[in-house]
Every structure is written in structure tokens, then in C-alpha cells.
Structure 1
């Protein structure tokens, strides 16, 4: 089978940039993919990226989305740009009949996401939404344990996480844009969407009409961390949440209760970034992550408090060996998402993205 030919928008020449860490490593090493074209804001920057990443001289350089979308050699058009540009970057590819991968969130607004998904369906295109938590081996291990009945009937699910930004009442240098809802990328949309999708993948969706979301903006004005590390004297407006909560029931039998809390700010010193607990009639599963959610990096531990045996068991799972663990942490689950697409396995598409966007809108309606 010939490799899937990839065209990427947003792979810069910077070594620490997101696409460099998250998309390039697996795409460059997998026999199932071949990067054939890049597109950045100028031909100069695109050519610089091709050179910096040692891509073949045959790799085509573009400076417009339309030109990349029109390239007949591109099988999968990849959007790795900021959320507020996703619509304008992806639409030329959808209109040209290209299969498209877009990072989560799909767009800055639900209306844009709905339009993108509808066009993809109209043209019968394959789409990928970058909700990569559902292909993470540790998340799949949790799903396996739940589905196998090892925990018995599930009665409650609790998730608590903290994203390590906005310390000292300041927006970190990398996360200024999290303060502006119009950008589309923030604690609620990015982290909330990723984590909730992973949980729903493993345990089932919310029971319709049986949940209550809540978003709170308790830091409506914040300092900004400047390039030299100092804090701005001015306070800047913030219209995005720093506290996200959800309580309700999951659509399963019996209808397990669900509690979710994600916040910004300092984490508990030397503590995990997030803790996910699942209580069943046979015991309780406790999963810890170094980050705020399961989409980036493997769990640091999965433990089962076995009520029948009266002991705690350490659960092991397979991360796939060094071909995966040697990749940058950011690129491991995204790489697995690409491979799921290549193998024709299950992954999230634009229709799933719209469903997640619609839930996030319910949080926005509660924001104070």
C-alpha cells in the first residue's frame, strides 16, 4: 500500500513549535505516511521549514491554502494552526475535496464547526479531529477494564485536574491568547474538550438532560508575563473561564453519577496534574496523570483498589515500545491518531467535533 501523502499547514522551522513536536516526529518516521508539501505564511518561511526538518528536496512549498488544497498529490491536508484560523485554513481543502485533519477545537465557533462538518459530509470526505486522548494506551486500558466488567457495575466517575497556567494572577507568556474567547483556544475549549472526550470514550456519553455544566471566570483581570519574565503593570481583561465544573449522570446502565472539575492556577506542590477515579461494585480505579488531562502523555499510574481481594493492584498496560516512547510526549498520541487513520481503525471525525462544540456552548451559557 502506497504511503498516505501529507500536506501540512503550520509546520514552522522553529524546533520547539507545536507541529514540530506533535505532528512531524511520527509522520517523518512512519512507513504509512509521506510529507509531500508544506504551507506557511510565506514561501521563504515554508522553504526554511523544509530545510530545517531535512525533508526531501521534492517537498513542495506553498504560501496560500488554496494552492496546497489544489495539489493533486496531497491525500490528507493537515491543519496545525491556532484555533481562530482553523476555519479559513481548512475550508479551501474541504471545497477542493481533500480529506482533512484539524486539531481540536475544530473551529473558533460552533457555527463554523457545523459548516465544516456539513461540507465534508456533502463531499463524502474523510475527516479527523485531533481528539487524540481516545487513542492513548492508558485511556484505552481504562476502557478495557470498564468494558470487561473488572470493576463491576460503574456507580460513580470523578475527574479533577489543574492546568499549570495563570500562576501569580498572571497569564504565562505562552498562554496570553487563552484570555480572549474570540481566539477559540482556552482552558474550556482545548483542555475541557480533550479531557471530556477521553472520559466519554471510556465510559459513555452524558445522559441527555441529566447534567449541569458550570464555568466561572474568577480572574476577570490579569497581569501578563512579559518576555523577560517580569509581570506587566497593567491588568488585562479576560473573558474565558478558569473554573470548569460538570455534574450529572452518564448514559449507561446503571446510570453512573459523574463529577468533573478542571481549573487553572498552581497545582498542589509535587502532586499530579489530574486524578481520574472510577468506582464500581468490585472496587475503585484510580488513574493519575502528570498533565491536566489524558490527551498528552501516558498515565503515571493506574491502580485498582480490589474490594473483593482487599488489596490494591498496580495495573500495567502497553505503550507500544520505544518506537512510541522515544517520540516527544506531544507527538505520541497524535502519532497514534494518524496510524489509526491509516489502518482504518476508529477515530474521531468532524461530526464528533460538532457534538463536543455543542456541549462546550452549554458551559459558555453559564459563564460569570
Structure 2
């Protein structure tokens, strides 16, 4: 995706939107009860949202402004213990749903993000569209865990009366030990530094600050 964006084949980027619906955070077993307490920092915003927004920032740049909202649709989910027996759990204050609107990158591209949990009665969906003036990219798959279950990558195809999505064949991205090989090769473009990790932490903190205050915010430091 980075190569396609750099090539300019999409033209000016007009907007991007991300929609994720998943039952993962409602199916955790009892040994994952730590995820239901916001103070533990393991929830849909910090884990799933953090990874996906990190990818978005990698492709399009950092958020210049953002306005977020978090909520709990399932305050008392039913969990299972290690033996598979039903056990009633309770969220303390950990969100299972969040939305975000803002602007990203030097061009301040409009962004819309919606991630919510649901029971397994509904199929999971991951869909991310980057809309350009000359064409668009779309990633689509059955899970928010795109690092483990890679989505399909598609690009709009021209040349006919009807514009349609055309899949771009990709090599297998799940390679055991790939991160260690990158480190051994000293591939600076693919190695995450502590400074970059701090920026991502500031982004997550800004999301919660905005959700609590109801105000638009940023995580830029002059």
C-alpha cells in the first residue's frame, strides 16, 4: 500500500474510512478478565485500535486533530472459565466500542473510524478504504487481527463503463521470525524505535482525553 501511495497512482488523497465489527473482545475466556478494566490498558482502543491506527499513520501520516467517543455496549458479558463453563463477568470501565473523526497527515486528510463489538450472531468485518482523486484502495477481511488473518487488498479498476474493485495478489505476510530478521538486517524503515512508540502512546492518550472531555484534541508537541 505504501508503494502504491508513493507512486501517485491514486492522485490526491481525499479521505479514508475504517470500519471494524468483531466479537473478539466478547469471547475472551476468564483468564482475560484483565481486559475489562480500563486501568489495565488492554481494550479495543489500546490493542486493536492502536495497531490499526498505527498502520493508518504509517501510510498517511500522524493525526493533526481527532475527536473520539468510547462506550460500553456490553457492561456484563458472559465469559467462560478455562473448563468452558459459563461465568458471569462484568466490565468495570473498559470500552468495547469507539469511534473517531479527525484529520491526518500534512494534507489533513479527513478520517472516519468506527470499531464496535458484537456477539457471534453477526459475521466479523474489517474494511478500510483510502479514497483518491484518481483511484482508491481497499483492504477487506473477516477479522480485526490483520497481522494474523491478512485481509484482501483491492484497487479500483478503470477502463470500462463500470468502475470495480480488482484484487492485488500479495505474498504471504505471515513469516515466523520476520521481525528478528528485520532487526538483524538493520532495516531502519521497518524497525520501530522507542521515540515512535512514545508518539503512538500519545495518540492513544489523546483518544481517551477526547472521549472523556467531548472535545477535539491532538497529540502534537511543539
TM-score range, shorter chain: 0.7 to 0.9
| Residue from 150, 160, 167 that aligns with 1:298 | 150
Contact 2:153 2:167 (C-alpha < 8 Å) held by counterparts: yes
Q: Which TM-score applies when normalising by structure 2?
A: 0.81
Match runs of 1:103-252 below 5 Å? 142-167=1-26, 171-173=28-30, 175-207=32-64, 210-232=65-87, 234-252=88-106
State whether residues 217 and 367 of structure 1, in contact with CA within 8 Å, keep that contact through their aligned partners in structure 2. no
1:289 CA displacement: 2.8
Contact preservation (8 Å) 1:211, 1:249: yes
Counterpart in the other structure of 1:287:
139
Alignment match, 1:262: 115
1:364 aligns with one of 205, 208, 220:
208
Structure 1: state its 5+ residue gaps. 1-141
Moved over 6 A (4+): none
Alignment size in residue pairs? 208
Answer whether contact 2:25 2:44 (CA < 8 A) is retained. Answer: no
> Unpaired runs of 5+ in structure 2?
214-222
> What residue number does 2:167 align with?
314
Task: Give the aligned CA root-mean-square deviation in angstroms.
Answer: 2.5
Deviation at 1:155, TM superposition (A): 0.4
Distance in 2, matches of 1:236 and 1:367, equals 21
Query: Displacement, 1:201?
Result: 0.6
Q: Is the 8 A contact 1:163 1:291 kept in 2?
A: yes
- The Cα shift of 1:235 comes to 4.5
1:335: which partner in 2? 177
Q: 2 CA distance for matches of 1:223 and 1:270?
A: 19
Q: CA deviation at 1:311?
A: 4.2
1:360 offset after TM fit, Å?
1.1
**TM-score w.r.t. structure 1 length?**
0.51
1:252 and 1:307 mapped to 2: Cα distance? 28
Query: Cα–Cα, structure 1 residues 218 and 363, in superposed 2: closer, same or farther, change >3 Å?
Result: farther
Q: Is the 8 A contact 1:171 1:222 kept in 2?
A: no
